[in-house]
Structure 1
């Protein structure tokens, strides 16, 4: 194991800050087996934003140009957390320089670029350099517990799945135009939060086989052009000039998985639902559901209950459940866990793999770029279904 790992983050927006904070906290989780983590740089073209983030999270410096990280031998690990269309150039340069890369989802804005990135990742892997994609929900204790209920057979044979990811960051017409509202059909709400929902669905229900009933809708057709840089989901500071929204505010589709069928729905214009991810799965012996609104609990219903007590029971998550014990200073039932914690788990999992800690002693590994390509093939099938008025489309096998 190396004596230390130098870490950098490209992108100082909302998700970039989540990565920065996660690297800062990653050594505090579980046993102290990680090498020393050196917080070296946060890179962002917005000097004020990047400098503030570097100071806030204890990084040594801010760089206005991400290329400075490529040339810095003190940096070993880099998170890429910028607009999707920028991923390929940055990731390929970092991998060529021998940097281990954790890239935010989706892998890119086009399947062609994503495939090229996966090729570069395999070439880098042959030289001992890792490239992984951040699927943070795969280490959520509640989701992992539902997967355990499925694998243990306690829910019986899977019958069907229902999942939705409703957000409201785009529900106001004065939200300024940004890269999130540009790109082809399927790169809007589906590519943003639907990428999360789709890999979670496969994690619980098995490999996707086909999709049908695809439908997209752009609820707000035009948005005002910003007067300055757009950071995260901010509003205000806009001009009177409008620009057309190019992609989907809302998407829904059906899917057939290896274990069952399901319905998935995503939105970025669901007023009153700032971050509402809800999962419910039904089996022959019972059902289970989990919500991002109350992520420290899972609701479980089993048919073997007494008749007068039938129904869902609330199970507070604690040390008896996956990825919980030893993960926080207070790891008792009822303490709770949130989405910020999942970013820390994600950073910890990536650093464990980079440091060479055996997989059996680690959190579940981050996924490969090939997995990222598969996720984009899944979403591309949804877009094809929507373009064909809901037709059934087979998801391309890797």
Structure 2
């Protein structure tokens, strides 16, 4: 069976997620399109890179990402670094003939995102695949929702309401990492998590054409985390720690108009106590409605207008072997999936695209569309008016 050597850049939280995905791919999807081989892992901190090599089973490690990009034995480059380095690494890798799986958002700058999409389009002509890691659109329940929409089961879409609420940065003692610095992240909750529900909304209902927004920063400064892997709020620093300014948003809320004529709303915050990874998407159409909640990600709620009056209301579909990506449910109804299986689905789609030569749905071009929506949100927060997505 064909094997593809993986070079992974960035050994933190998302690096671990990519490792789990590549390792599990042939365990769930067999025969696999190809088998990923964990060749080289990179992190700028040598102790982290060395530890990750041993922990994850890579053949070697490096502290210089260019060694991976320039290695003729590497087929795939996984980019799991802070947002400000996505463009440089991804563009270099594509030009070196490597397939690229880049974490979201595609970049901290829509200017860079546009260039990435253009370079990826050229690379595609030579059989090189570039994909952005918007994994939530691959939740089997949401793929089923897309099927209902495309079949016309809920009629014409009227309204889409999406939320992504987390709590990990609600505590002011949660340290300042790159995710709270505009030069690295580009944006706060908007770029970190709102991008996911923007992508889901556009996946289900088409392109967003204009927005009006409110963007807020509640915690103006945070204690500084010195080195190490991004803790995502799992550690707290005391009152005597050095503090620095937060210059990105804690929350972004915005109304949207879709090119189709549908309307909607999106809210994202990392400061919602009690909400750990709360993603909800509700779609209303002329013939029915769909509701998804990630905290119950193996379920999809549906309501159809042609149900009898005495039976009309939301009913729950439990996803399993009969639905999309049934392989990751152990082929047994009710066994359910979690985040690791979801990232494995993403890796499967990426590897399948490489082998088939057919571009994945989460192309760099699709990811660039998300960045353009984020730009419009930021412009609207300043102008206090509707802004076109352009």
Q: TM-score, normalised by structure 2?
A: 0.93
2:375 is the alignment partner of 1:380: yes
Unaligned segments of structure 1, at least 5 residues? none
- What is the CA deviation profile of residues 363-383 of structure 1, one whole-angstrom value per residue up to 9, with x for unaligned ones? x92422222221111111111
Q: Secondary structure of 2:248's match? A: coil
2:273 is the alignment partner of 1:271: yes
Query: 1:235 is matched with which residue?
Result: 235
Q: Secondary structure of 2:265's match? A: strand
Query: 1:121 is matched with which residue?
Result: 120
8 Å CA contact 2:86–2:106 kept in 1: the answer is: yes
**Structure 2 counterpart of 1:393, from 382, 387, 390:** 387
- What is the CA deviation profile of residues 337-384 of structure 1, one whole-angstrom value per residue up to 9, with x for unaligned ones? 222212111111111111236x5xxxx924222222211111111111
2:282 is the alignment partner of 1:289: no
Q: Secondary structure of 2:52's match? A: helix
8 Å CA contact 2:84–2:186 kept in 1: the answer is: no
8 Å CA contact 1:10–1:42 kept in 2: the answer is: yes
Query: 1:280 is matched with which residue?
Result: 282
Q: Secondary structure of 2:337's match? A: coil
Q: Secondary structure of 1:102's match? A: strand
Which range moved further: 86-95 or 236-245?
236-245
Which range moved further: 303-312 or 19-28?
303-312
User: How many residues were matched structurally?
Assistant: 386
Q: Secondary structure of 2:170's match? A: coil
8 Å CA contact 1:24–1:57 kept in 2: the answer is: no
Query: 2:251 is matched with which residue?
Result: 250
2:200 is the alignment partner of 1:206: no
Query: 2:310 is matched with which residue?
Result: 308
Distance in 1 between residues matched to 2:196 and 2:336, nearest whole Å: 21
Unaligned segments of structure 2, at least 5 residues? none
1:161-172 → structure 2 map (5 Å cutoff): 161-172=160-171
Q: Post-superposition, which runs of at least 4 consecutive aligned residues in structure 1 deviate over 4 A?
A: none
Question: Offset at 1:259?
Answer: 5.3
8 Å CA contact 2:25–2:32 kept in 1: the answer is: no
Distance in 2 between residues matched to 1:289 and 1:180, nearest whole Å: 30
Question: Offset at 1:198?
Answer: 0.3
Question: Offset at 1:237?
Answer: 4.9
Q: Secondary structure of 2:356's match? A: coil
Classify 1:259/1:25 alpha carbon distance in 2 versus 1 (closer, same or farther; 3 Å). Answer: farther
Cα RMSD for the two superposed structures? 2.0
1:283-362 → structure 2 map (5 Å cutoff): 283-324=285-326, 326-328=327-329, 330-356=330-356
Question: Offset at 1:17?
Answer: 0.5
Distance in 2 between residues matched to 1:272 and 1:198, nearest whole Å: 23
2:360 is the alignment partner of 1:365: yes
Q: TM-score, normalised by structure 1?
A: 0.91
Q: Secondary structure of 1:367's match? A: coil
Q: Secondary structure of 2:295's match? A: coil
Q: Secondary structure of 2:214's match? A: strand
- The structure with the greater share of residues assigned to helix is 2
- What is the CA deviation profile of residues 262-288 of structure 1, one whole-angstrom value per residue up to 9, with x for unaligned ones? 011000111111111011111222211
- What is the CA deviation profile of residues 126-156 of structure 1, one whole-angstrom value per residue up to 9, with x for unaligned ones? 3332222111122211111111111222212
Classify 1:125/1:19 alpha carbon distance in 2 versus 1 (closer, same or farther; 3 Å). Answer: same
Distance in 2 between residues matched to 1:31 and 1:317, nearest whole Å: 20
Distance in 2 between residues matched to 1:265 and 1:43, nearest whole Å: 34
2:32 is the alignment partner of 1:38: no
